[in-house]
Amino acid sequence: MHDGHPACSAKIVSLSPTPSTFGPLLFAGDIEAGFEAAAAGGFDGVELSLLSAGQIEYARLESLLAEYGLKVYGIATGQSYYAEGISLFAPDRAIRDRAIEKLREHVDLACDLDAAVIVGGIRGRLPSEPHASSLSAGWDAFRDVAQYACGKNVTILLEPINRYETNIVNTLEQGAEIIRKLAFPNVRLLADAFHMNIEEALFYESLMDVSDVLGYMHFADSNRWAPGFGHTDFGTIWRALCDMDYRGPIGIEVLPLPTDEAAARQGARFLHGLSCEGG
């Protein structure tokens, strides 16, 4: 059951079925090893980072999920930008259209898996001073995907990302503002502790201020290692999640350091150690 306080939130770990240029994914290229570690760590499920929806054979995925007793909670889509330069805010319309098409395919897959689709890295990055026209075309593209997902009852997660990776939505408040303005029932905010550590002035206040739209968390420490391996103040983050009665998934999205296995073990240990009495 995952409908109690945040200590009962679904605990998940981010994996990639293929080797990836995007770093914070465990067992990249060996999905079975990832599932085995997720099950051994007592995770409820996984987030899959995919270059495209067709990258993983559905029947094999279903059988692995059944075998290890796991569920896919989220599909991460940023690899399209990092590996292929395909982004939702690209000034070139043909590239934006390609991003929309890819995201629609991710939505179809997510619909079958009862998972959410993350729009983070795939937003891309605009030339130094974002032009109003590119921004508005990008948000039109985002709206197109959100509308399509709405028809399929799939949640779209907008993830603010730090300034060194994108210049389109860095802070939680910027993300929340857009979500409130667009007013789709299926668009929620994904807060990643790694990006928050760079962009937010205060963990507690920034989270409480977006509690109306928050739907998913990524936990990674200040160095993007598993929580507990860096200096991020997770006690304060956890206090906010408890105070707002957060119930969404909590994912470990971390670098495979010192090893994939050690990162997964630490992520699991950390999540299992959280309670609403102390954190």
Piece of the chain touching Mn ion by CB under 5 A; list 91-99, 107-115, 227-235, 247-255: 247-255
Q: Which partner in ligand LER, Mn ion, none is near 121 (CB below 5 to 8 A by kind)?
A: ligand LER
Comparing CB distances to ligand LER, the nearer of 45 and 78 is 78
Least Cα distance to 118 among 126, 130, 110, 127 occurs for: 110
Q: Which partner in Mn ion, ligand LER, none is near 227 (CB below 5 to 8 A by kind)?
A: none
Provide the minimum distance between the beta carbon of 21 and ligand LER in the complex, in angstroms, as a whole number.
11
The single residue among 44, 47, 165, 192 that binds Mn ion, judged by CB under 5 A, is 192
Piece of the chain touching Mn ion by CB under 5 A; list 66-74, 126-134, 212-220, 261-269: 212-220
* Phi and psi, residue 112, nearest 5°: -65, -30
Amino acid at 47: E
Provide the minimum distance between the beta carbon of 50 and Mn ion in the complex, in angstroms, as a whole number.
15
Q: Strand pairing partners for 72?
A: 46
Piece of the chain touching Mn ion by CB under 5 A; list 109-117, 138-146, 192-200, 203-211: 192-200
| 258 upstream amide cis, omega within 30 of 0 | yes
Comparing CB distances to Mn ion, the nearer of 200 and 253 is 253
How far is 209 from 57, CA to CA, in rounded Å?
40
Q: Which partner in Mn ion, ligand LER, none is near 165 (CB below 5 to 8 A by kind)?
A: ligand LER
Active site residue 261: no
Calculate the alpha carbon distances from 120 to 39, 117, 166, 190, 276 in Å.
26, 10, 9, 9, 29
Tokens of 148: 């399509």
Provide the minimum distance between the beta carbon of 192 and Mn ion in the complex, in angstroms, as a whole number.
4
Q: Which partner in Mn ion, ligand LER, none is near 44 (CB below 5 to 8 A by kind)?
A: none
Q: Strand pairing partners for 252?
A: 13, 219
Instruction: Give the orientation angle of helix 93-113 with respect to helix 132-151, to 10 degrees.
Output: 30
Residue nearest to ligand LER according to CB distances in the complex:
121
Comparing CB distances to ligand LER, the nearer of 199 and 242 is 199
Q: Which partner in Mn ion, ligand LER, none is near 76 (CB below 5 to 8 A by kind)?
A: ligand LER
Provide the minimum distance between the beta carbon of 6 and ligand LER in the complex, in angstroms, as a whole number.
19
Return residues touching ligand LER (CB under 6 A).
Answer: 76, 78, 120-121, 159, 161, 165, 192, 218, 253
Residues contacting residue 279 through CB under 8 Å, at least 6 positions apart: 234, 235, 238, 239, 242
Helix, strand, or coil (residue 32): helix
How far is 274 from 237, CA to CA, in rounded Å?
11
Least Cα distance to 73 among 2, 18, 147 occurs for: 2
Tell me: does residue 44 bind Mn ion (CB under 5 A): no
Active site residue 47: no
Residues labelled catalytic? 159, 253
